[in-house]
Amino acid sequence: MMLGDSDRIGASCHYLRLGEWGLLLDAGIDPHQGNSTVPPYEKLKGMPVNAIMISHAHLDHLGSLPVAIRHFPHARVYMTPATAALSEVLLFHYLKVQERRAKLARIQFEPLYTPEELENYLYLFQSFEYNFPFNIHGFQESKIDLTFWDAGHILGSAGIEIKWRGKHIFYTGNTKKSKQFILKGAKYPRRTHILITETTYGSNELAPQLRKQNDINRLAEYVIQKIKYNGAILIPVFALGRTQEIMYLLHRLISQGKVPAVPIYVIGMGIKINKIYDRLLHKIYPDFQPKFFKTITADTLFRKQYRKPSIILATSGMMLPNTLSYEIASDFLSDARNGIAIVGWADPETPGGSVRNMNTEKIKAIFGIETVQCDIKVFYFSAHSHREELLEMIEDIHPHNTVLCHGDSEALRWMKAQVENRQLSSRVIIPKPAEILTF
């Protein structure tokens, strides 16, 4: 049963019933829409929920975990060690975001959970490394075997394999099949009966044709141009994942002499997350030295005091109002010397989405400016598989049943048609909200 959003990218949450046992896969929230997007956990009243599995620490997979634990206090909570470390930071941070939003909207602050509650829940997290099979157990043994697979999306992200009575189920979480700059690409089980897969880039026809190296060269060229005229470049990024990948790329370009050494600013939560990458990245990928990000000189940005030329990595990635990336963008947009580089996905309904689509009229209205002068460029460095990669994955895994999720309706439709036309799976399903599927 899909409890979260079914035809958009919002709260991710699936309920899996295996005989006497019940599992939740992810406990997300749509962080932009807030409390109203908590999955309807009450629908599971009277049903068993023995375990909650978290695929990775982005809020659309994690944000309502404290609410889920309150509903199902006996459930065990499983994730990878890196996801556990990141979840703590993300969940405390999201509490602050909720408070700030309430203050700005002048409404009563009604947090989804309290800091004390969260503090207690953190003790429930049990973590397992990739490729280390474990068993859900309680008073009785469940005979449900679980394995986390590296999903290649962000630090600690996992695809979740569930084996029960000879049946194999695989949930991709968010997945990136090919390498990013830091992460090395996802690994998948060889076969599965039921596949539950994300489809984020299912409607993007451009992505499969793009060559990563071209975009790296384009970015280097763009940075050089802006630096030449003493401009600054804003890169709106998610604090978790995108910040580290782009920071690493810029560091590489600078150390290879392809881009002049200019200050790179990182702000707020991105810094905290860098520290977790520093602590754990080398344990997953031994070719990174411990404290790698500490060796990259990044300046901290205080109250928009930046030098020029420079590069600023600022959250939010979607430039939501009252964030630093929104404020800096408002300053930058009417100055031709500056640039805004978009390096990831942005919901079309957000300011970042309007900038990404270069919708001038919308940009003027949202940011309250007269003209758009600044040089906006989009680069494709995704943390999600593009649609051909998703199809390759499905072909390799060859599932009997494929359940599509985590995509807009166009993405879901395209993927369904392709999986059917290419005969990659006997049955392809786009579930409706709270619809019960039986296999």
Residues in 30-89 that interact with Zn ion by CB under 5 A = 58, 60
Residue 153: CA count within 13 A, CB half-sphere: 24
Q: How far is the CB of 136 from Zn ion (least distance, A)?
A: 24
Beta bridge partners of 78: 53, 126
Q: Which one, 375 or 389, has the nearer CB to Zn ion?
A: 389
Q: Which one, 175 or 354, has the nearer CB to Zn ion?
A: 175
57: its two tokens: 């620490």
Q: Tell me, residue by residue from 120 to 159, as one string, x for binding to Zn ion by CB under 5 A and - for no binding.
A: ----------------------------------------
Q: Which one, 317 or 339, has the nearer CB to Zn ion?
A: 317
Q: Which one, 34 or 263, has the nearer CB to Zn ion?
A: 34
Under the criterion CB under 5 A, does residue 347 sit at the interface with Zn ion?
A: no
Distance CA 73, CA 117 (A): 12
Distance CA 85, CA 143 (A): 28
Q: Which one, 174 or 244, has the nearer CB to Zn ion?
A: 174
SS3 state of residue 407: coil
Q: How far is the CB of 60 from Zn ion (least distance, A)?
A: 4
What are the phi and psi torsion angles at 104 (to 5°)?
Answer: -65, -40
| Count of residues touching Zn ion (by CB under 5 A) | 3
Nearest residue to Zn ion by CB is 58
Q: Tell me, residue by residue from 289 to 328, as one string, x for binding to Zn ion by CB under 5 A and - for no binding.
A: ----------------------------------------
Count of CB atoms within 10 A of residue 133's CB? 11
Q: Which one, 178 or 225, has the nearer CB to Zn ion?
A: 178
Q: Tell me, residue by residue from 244 to 283, as one string, x for binding to Zn ion by CB under 5 A and - for no binding.
A: ----------------------------------------
SS3 state of residue 78: strand
Q: How far is the CB of 57 from Zn ion (least distance, A)?
A: 8
Which one of 36-44, 122-130, 174-182, 282-290 is the stretch in contact with Zn ion (CB under 5 A)?
174-182
Q: Which one, 50 or 83, has the nearer CB to Zn ion?
A: 83
The answer to whether residues 77 and 88 touch, using CB atoms and an 8 Å cutoff, is no
With CB under 5 A as the contact rule, the residue among 98, 174, 180, 274 that binds Zn ion is: 174
* Residue whose tokens read 């940075």: 223
Dihedral (Cα; 97, 160, 386, 186), 10-degree rounding: 110
Q: Which one, 28 or 81, has the nearer CB to Zn ion?
A: 28
Q: Which one, 86 or 340, has the nearer CB to Zn ion?
A: 86
SS3 state of residue 334: coil
Q: Where are the strands (E) in 92-226, listed by range?
A: 125-127, 134-137, 141-150, 158-164, 167-171, 194-198
Residue from 285, 102, 108 nearest 179 by CA: 285
Residue 21: CA count within 13 A, CB half-sphere: 23
Omega prior to 325 cis, within 30 of 0: no
Q: How far is the CB of 159 from Zn ion (least distance, A)?
A: 12
Residues in 198-237 that interact with Zn ion by CB under 5 A = none
Q: How far is the CB of 383 from Zn ion (least distance, A)?
A: 7
Q: How far is the CB of 395 from Zn ion (least distance, A)?
A: 23
Kindly write down the DSSP assignment for every residue of 186-255, as one continuous string: ----S--SEEEEE-TBTT-SSGGG--HHHHHHHHHHHHHHHHHTT-EEEEE--TTTHHHHHHHHHHHHHH
For Zn ion, the binding residues (CB under 5 A) are: 58, 60, 174
